[in-house]
């Protein structure tokens, strides 16, 4: 029990660590209705967001170097992704598709193709993003998967925002969500069962898309690897009608086997 408590306290310190120059956060009493209301609103928003299509500028910086790319991006719950990497003149350099169980990858630069069961770390290897497809979709949509978690601690931040820490009954999943004073999600962070930080995503540049306010900039930190990623989205369509074939990729004529 002590290990779990230390993990949760450590998680709170990590999320709030950059705010040490401000007055301390104030724990909320258990009967404060705001956390439950904000979590319910977030869950309802998540239910309304199934997919997105748009353009993305990806910037990744870390100890291993930097990546810059422009992409055509399609994401759909629970774990479907299509990432088309564009070159200087918008020609296709590579295409990755996955349904969360299998993936296909075509690299036009050396005309190779591979298709196989999804392996852990695929997005890390290809794009420098240390997220599995299901979590990547949730981060992109700003729709955290919190259904199996319970709030364990809530604090009010100095400028009026609220932060809620959640975990499951076994302490195996730990998440934090942070809301701005106006009630919108502005941060989503996760830790592994040992309390080691997995990622910390921040949402900014809110613009209206359809009837929803949607983040056009997502900044993600991966504390263990020291990698920082920024995704700038544009031409976003939410819940577009998607042909299932979008997430299929046929072997291009003349392509040789890849080395994934």
**What is the reported pLDDT for 23?**
61
Q: What integer pLDDT is reported at residue 92 of this predicted model?
A: 87
The separation between CA 211 and the C-alpha centre of its own chain, rounded to angstroms, equals 22
Predicted model pTM: 0.87
**What's the pLDDT at 125?**
83
Delimit the domains of the chain by residue range.
2-247
- Best CA proximity match to 81, nearest among 48, 145, 127: 127
**Nearest CA-CA partner of 3 in 194, 190, 196, 197:** 194
Nearest to 187 by CA among 212, 221, 234: 221
The yes or no reply on domain 2-247 and CATH 3.30.420.40 is no
pLDDT for res 108:
87
Place of tokens 């609103």: 41
Low pLDDT (below 50) residues in the chain: 1-21
Is the separation of the CB atoms in 129 and 220 below 8 Å? Answer: yes
Per-residue pLDDT reduced to its tens digit, 159-203: 889 999 999 877 677 999 999 999 999 999 999 888 889 999 999
pLDDT at residue number 89: 75
3-state secondary structure the chain: CHHHHHHHHHHHHHHHHHHCCCCCCEECCCCCCHHHHHHHHHHHHHHHCCEEEEEEEEEEEECCEEEEEEEEEEEECCCEEEEEEECCCCCEEEEEEECCCEEEEEECCCCEEEEEECCCCHHHHHHCCCCCHHHHHHHHHCCCCCCCCEEEEEEECCCCCEEEEEECCCCCCEEEEEECCCCCEEEEEEECCCCCEEEEEEEEEEEEECCEEEEEEEEEEECCCCEEEEEEEEEEEECCCCCHHHHCCCCCCCCEECCC
C-alpha 252/C-alpha 79 separation (Å) is 24
Tens digits of residue pLDDT in 35-53: 999 999 999 999 999 999 9
Beta-carbon neighbour count of residue 216 at 10 Å?
17
């Amino acid at each position: 029990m002590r290990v779990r408590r230390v993990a949760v306290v450590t998680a709170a310190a990590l999320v709030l660590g950059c705010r040490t120059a401000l007055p301390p956060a104030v724990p909320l009493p258990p009967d404060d209705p705001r956390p439950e209301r904000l979590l319910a609103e977030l869950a309802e928003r998540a239910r309304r967001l199934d997919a997105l299509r748009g353009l993305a500028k990806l910037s990744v910086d870390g100890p291993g170097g930097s990546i810059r790319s422009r992409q055509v991006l399609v994401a759909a719950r629970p774990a479907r992704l299509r990432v088309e990497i564009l070159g200087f003149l918008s020609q296709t350099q590579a295409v990755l598709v996955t349904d969360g169980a299998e993936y296909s990858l075509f690299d036009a630069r050396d005309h190779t193709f591979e298709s196989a069961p999804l392996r852990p770390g695929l997005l890390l290897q290809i794009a420098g993003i240390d997220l599995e497809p299901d979590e990547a979709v949730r981060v992109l949509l700003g729709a955290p998967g919190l259904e199996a978690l319970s709030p364990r601690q809530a604090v009010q931040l100095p400028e009026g925002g609220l932060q809620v820490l959640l975990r499951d009954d076994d302490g195996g999943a730990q998440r934090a969500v942070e809301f701005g004073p106006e009630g919108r999600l502005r941060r989503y962070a996760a830790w592994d069962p040992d309390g080691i930080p997995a990622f910390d995503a921040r949402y900014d540049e809110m613009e209206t898309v359809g009837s929803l306010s949607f983040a056009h900039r997502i900044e993600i930190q991966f504390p263990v690897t020291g990698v920082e990623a920024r995704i700038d989205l544009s031409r976003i369509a939410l819940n577009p009608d998607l042909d299932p074939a979008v997430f299929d990729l046929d072997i291009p004529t003349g392509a040789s086997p890849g080395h994934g």
